[in-house]
Amino acid sequence: MNSPTAIVEAAPPIDEVGVNERVARLFTRSIKKEAKLRALTMTLSMLDLTTLEGKDSPGKVKQLCYKAAHLHDVYPGLPMVAAVCVYPSLVSVARKALAGTDIKVASVATAFPSGMTALKLKLEEVKQVVEDGADEVDMVLSRGRFLRGDYAYVFDEIAAVKTACGPAHLKVILETGELVTLDNVRRASDLAMAAGADFIKTSTGKVSPAATPPVVLVMLEAIRDYYFRTGRKVGMKPAGGIKTAKQAIQYLVMVRETLGQAWLTPDRFRFGASSLANDVLMQIVKQTTGVYQSGDYFSID
């Protein structure tokens, strides 16, 4: 296997102007009627319904978990979301609340959102959330180490967290808002995948900008190249700032035309969002009734 530095050096250069143009062209896709309805339903099934606030409490998480399984019961046939994403201390609450459903429990870990603590503590945290019942662990990349070129540390850290995860799936948050350049996004993606990430994820949601279309496109292309090189299909999760159904559909168009059928599933593509669900629900109802309903008809949990 290549050394972490070799992996970074092998990453192809990224031309930002070209990426922006490709994104603009993908965004001209016009998604209407049954294609729109299908995209909206798919979006719901790919949702990591998220609450990551210092003021989160067991009560709040329980309510969110109920919403996750009952998005809009007056409209039958809707899917459940893919996962509920919470802070470590609330994993056991979520686990209990979601018992009997197929909804996964995801937990952020590794001193989220900054990751500025010792590896030993990070690993302990990861083991704890898995023990508490997390199916998926969202770790943060050590951006400081990455930016100063300590790729071996970053690689080893991810690999160690992956081991600590055991059966749980590992999502690696690159925090692209702090990596700044698309070249860095590509290198970090390659590094994270090689170190064992099951998913790569754009952002914590705590840094601006969070997920942006050019960043997501570069990550999807990295996943495609990695798949051809290794045969392993790594998942993708844009997170932060995705608030509207329109944005979600645009991301799905990007996935469809970059990675195709195999990635258009909750196993390989997720949205990390807290307020996206209701806009999607409102659009779904509008697609079938022809009129927009008041926001008051959609539950806020």
Partner 1 sequence: MTKEKKRLKVANPHIDYDTVWTYAPAPESTDHIHLKRRYELFINGEFVPPVKGKYFATVNPATEEKLAEVPEATGEDIDKAVAAARSAFEKVWSPMPPAERGKYIYRIARLLQERAREFAVIESLDGGKPIRESRDIDIPLAAAHFFYYAGWADKLEYAFPGRKTRPLGVAGQIIPWNFPLLMAAWKIAPALATGNTVVLKTAETTPLTAMKLAELFQDAELPPGVVNIVTGGGKTGQMIVNHPDVDKIAFTGSTEVGKYIRKALAGTGKRYTLELGGKAANIIFEDAAVDQAVEGIINGIFFNQGHVCCAGSRLYVQESIAPEILRKLKDRIATLIVGDPLDKNTDIGAINSRMQLEKIESYVRIGKEEGGAIFQPPCKLPAKGYWHPPTLFTDVSQSHRIVQEEIFGPVLPIQTFRTVDEVITKANNTPYGLSGGVWTDKGAKIFKVTKQIRAGVVWANTYNKFDPTSPFGGYKESGLGREGGLQGLLPYVELV
Question: Of 23 and 211, which CB lies nearer to partner 1 in the complex structure?
Answer: 23
Judge whether 201 counts as a catalytic residue.
yes
Instruction: Match 């059966």 to its residue by tokens.
Output: 167
| Rounded Cα distance, 174 and 190, in Å | 11
Question: What's the min distance (Å) between Cβ of 41 and partner 1?
Answer: 10
Question: What's the min distance (Å) between Cβ of 42 and partner 1?
Answer: 7
**Catalytic residue selected from 135, 138, 190, 198:** 138
Write out 149-206 in H/E/C secondary structure. Answer: CCHHHHHHHHHHHHHHHCCCEEEEECCHHHHCCHHHHHHHHHHHHHCCCCEEECCCCC
**Catalytic residue selected from 36, 104, 122, 201:** 201
| Rounded Cα distance, 102 and 80, in Å | 8
Size of the chain, expressed as the number of residues it contains = 301
Instruction: Match 């970090």 to its residue by tokens.
Output: 188
C-beta of residue 263 within 8 angstroms of C-beta of residue 224: no
Binding site for partner 1 (CB under 8 A): 12-15, 17-19, 21-22, 28-36, 38-39, 42, 221, 224, 227-231, 252, 256-262, 264
Question: Of 141 and 252, which CB lies nearer to partner 1 in the complex structure?
Answer: 252
Question: Of 12 and 166, which CB lies nearer to partner 1 in the complex structure?
Answer: 12
Judge whether 233 counts as a catalytic residue.
no
Judge whether 138 counts as a catalytic residue.
yes
Question: Of 45 and 299, which CB lies nearer to partner 1 in the complex structure?
Answer: 45
Catalytic positions: 138, 201, 237
